[in-house]
Amino acid sequence: MKNRPALTLDDCRKLTAAAEAEARKNKWEVAIVILDDGGHVLHAMRMDGATPANIAIATEKARTAALTRRSSKMWEERVAGGRVSMLKMPGVLPVEGGLPIVAEGTCVGAVGVSGVASHEDAQIGQAGIDSLGLG
């Protein structure tokens, strides 16, 4: 049998704290959602001022990244590149801001952020992932 790494609650807290700090630094109010590699929620938070829709969008961005093992931006670019049929891909929200979390070469889950411009959402998510020092 194969052993694979998994996100702990402490990892989720660390990631979320770093992401939240990045958002606050820029005075951005967002929702930050972390899913495991099966697309199940491990951790979620909605900053004051972010909307209920942001939680749903962040979750769907994260689910896209967790289940396809690719950033939601990659899907956005494929659609923008003319591959409109990708809009029918199951479970894919093709909007930047969902990033897979890769540890030891394995996707262990994903983080999704929603609330500001989608490249800024991704910046927040990346700051969170960077805090885990996965290399």
Partner 1 sequence: MNRIAVTAFGLMLMGAATVASAQVPSYGPSLNLEQAKRALAAGEAEARKNNWPVAIAVFDTAGQLVAFQKMDDTQTASVDIAMDKGRSAAIFRRPTKAFEDVVGGGGSGARIIALRGASPIEGGVPIFNNAGKIIGGIGVSGVTSQQDGVVAKAGADALK
Shorter beta-carbon distance to partner 1: residue 13 or 83? 13
| From 15, 23, 43, 78, residue interacting with partner 1 (rule: CB under 8 A) | 43
**Beta carbons within 10 angstroms of residue 42's beta carbon:** 21
* Residue 26 interacting with partner 1 (CB under 8 A): no
Contacts of 52 (CB under 8 A, 6+ apart): 46
Using DSSP's 3-state secondary structure scheme, residue 18 falls into helix
Verify binding: residue 124, partner 1, rule CB under 8 A.
Answer: no
The neighbouring-strand residues paired with 112 are: 33, 98
Shortest Cβ 79–partner 1 spacing (Å): 28
* Residue ranges that bind partner 1, judged by CB under 8 A: 8-9, 12-13, 38, 40-48, 52, 55
